[in-house]
Copies of this chain bind each other. A is one copy, B any other.
Amino acid sequence: MAFMLLPRRLACSFWHSHLLLVSGARHISQAAAKVDVEFDYDGPLMKTEVPGPRSLELMKQLNMIQNAEAVHFFCNYEESRGNYLVDADGNRMLDLYSQIASIPIGYSHPALAKLVQQPQNVSAFINRPALGILPPENFVNKLRESLLSVAPKGMSQLVTMACGSCSNENAFKTIFMWYRSKERGQRGFSKEELESCMINQAPGCPDYSILSFMGAFHGRTLGCLATTHSKAIHKIDIPSFDWPIAPFPQLKYPLEEFEKDNQQEEARCLEEVEDLIVKYRKKKKTVAGITVEPIQSEGGDNHASDDFFRKLRDIARKHGCAFLVDEVQTGGGCTGKFWAHEHWGLDDPADLMSFSKKMMVGGFFHKEEFRPNAPYRIFNTWLGDPSKNLLLAEVINIIKREDLMNNAAHAGKVLLTGLLDLQYLHPRILKHPVNMDLSTTPLRGDDNGDTEVIVEVMRAVARYPQFMSRVRGRGTFCSFDAPDDSIRNKLILIARNKGVVLGGCGDKSIRFRPTLVFRAHHAQLFLNIFNDILADFK
């Protein structure tokens, strides 16, 4: 029987997906796991259109003092809990965007609320130090409990920063200093270097570059922006550096079905990377480093294979360039590993890795050879914020204690499988046409794992090729493409009014960025709602 073709381990997921998609067999949310009950709601609750009247009034007020056109709605964070964001009009929405992927363990987590109110922690919130010169006594310990406990392989060194852009800016600076120091060898700074740098000139300010990828997003300050190529509105009118920009692989999804095409595309891009390094060295704009996201996020959730990244790392080493992985959006456990680049299985670790968002504070890890040779070279007044380290230590504690990375892997699989079921898959699937009568076919996962025909049925029954394509994801870090930005934006608006907050990325993608307390039942709840939206979409 064709039932044999489906791996058993997927049977359950498909069974759930199936339930979602067959009309009349709606999924009923499981009771939330005990640990969530305290602070999660049991579903969306909508009272008004979103934005409602209160949000609209506040938007008008905010717009008096700044361009507030990007505001979606105003929020009542006091009432927001777990996966649910409550707005200023009392609407409660399942939040799959979580403040542009920056909320680690849901809203109003009771452990964090407790931490803030403990008298011994108050000082951290009201006495913000200049960390580079006068750190608090518990600074090293708190770093050990928080960031150092999740240090990526090979990187023993850590600098904290206040945000993602500053993290990348300072990682770039660290790269430039490292590269110049290699060139300089044993000698110290020359008089000419010391003088020329003061007036922005070489040799003190060398004409180095950072190689980035088309579609990348590394931040919006001027250094970062020279490596950001996601949307024109981020970059237009801002002066930039002439730094090399390589094509990022434009892959077909699901990756495993288009392996050969994708390999060719990745090889093309890697070749271009090497060509650019040579070309820019010739034009005296030496590539000191390469920066890349494990999944291009703002640029449209563009994936590449683990093999691509391993080869890219090799190219960096071969040409003496630093290899910086930007995990600002991918880091923190949502891909099922703490850092997305851990999926690659690098033999030689990356040289630097930046983070922010779900880590609550920015910064970057790096190898010891990238350590600045003098104080005050990587420095600013605050260098992060110990009150965020304090919160992060508790967040990481909870991630470990509640096994939230495995939860992300599991909930992500449910989400991805459900999304795959909603989309019209690859034509190859259609080689197995199934003409079963759904009303008489027993629709259940069975112990033989023999569910492929059922899956095929589902794909034949419930698919929305007109709305969804290129479903892709790792952990809960999932996405799909809508046909165009207008339908994408419309889907986001409809979903919001049905009680689900989604985010867009790239030209026409919808990205999923739930928190780490997003469970399988939240995925199922979303899939139910979204199925209805697609079924009704006009």
Contacts and interface: CB of A to CB of B under 8 A. Distances in A.
A-B residue pairs, 8 tightest by C-beta: A222-B223, A70-B375, A69-B375, A200-B240, A77-B127, A205-B240, A169-B221, A112-B126
Nearest to A232: B194
Contacts of A376: 70, 231, 233-234
A241 B124 CA distance: 38
B74 A377 contact: no
A445 interface: no
A109 B200 CA distance: 42
Given A176-B239, A198-B229, 16 more contacts: A58-B135, A70-B132, A74-B135, A75-B129, A76-B137, A99-B130, A99-B381, A102-B128, A102-B382, A103-B128, A116-B117, A170-B221, A189-B236, A221-B221, A233-B377, A241-B241
A199 interface: yes
14 contacts: A62-B135, A67-B371, A75-B137, A78-B123, A99-B128, A112-B126, A116-B122, A125-B391, A173-B238, A200-B240, A204-B232, A204-B237, A207-B239, A221-B224
Contacts of A436: none
A253 interface: no
Given A200-B242, A239-B207, A241-B200, A134 B374 contact: no
Contacts of A75: 129, 134-137
Contacts of A204: 232, 235-237
Contacts of A119: 117
B242 A71 contact: no
Interface stretch (A160-168, A427-435, A458-466, A516-524): A160-168
A3 interface: no
Interface residues of A, number: 128
A166 B164 contact: no
B80 A127 contact: yes
Given A77-B136, A221-B165, A245-B200, A235 B205 contact: yes
Contact of A381 (B67, B166, B356, B372): B356
Contacts of A135: 58, 62, 71, 74-75
Given A70-B375, A158-B65, A209-B239, A124 B221 contact: no
A373 B117 CA distance: 42
Contacts of A74: 134-137, 139
A68 B221 CA distance: 26
Interface of A: 54, 58, 61-62, 64-78, 80, 85, 88, 99-100, 102-103, 107-109, 112-113, 115-117, 119-120, 122-130, 132-137, 139-140, 143, 148, 156-159, 162-166, 169-170, 172-173, 176-177, 179-181, 189, 193-195, 197-201, 204-209, 214, 219-224, 226, 229, 231-243, 245, 356-357, 360, 371-382, 387, 391
Given A360-B128, A379-B70, A235 B112 contact: no
Contacts of A194: 232, 236
Nearest to A114: B122
B140 A58 contact: yes
Contacts of A235: 197-198, 200, 204-205
Contacts of A148: 65
A70 B116 contact: no
A246 to B, nearest CB: 11
Contact of A117 (B117, B166, B197, B224): B117
A58 B240 contact: no
A67 B374 contact: yes
Contacts of A64: 156
Contacts of A129: 75, 77, 99
A186 to B, nearest CB: 16
B132 A108 contact: no
A133 B165 contact: no
Contact of A198 (B143, B163, B232): B232
A357 B130 CA distance: 10
Nearest to A173: B238
Contacts of A241: 200, 239, 241
Most chain B CB within 10 A, of A76, A130, A157, A387, is at A130
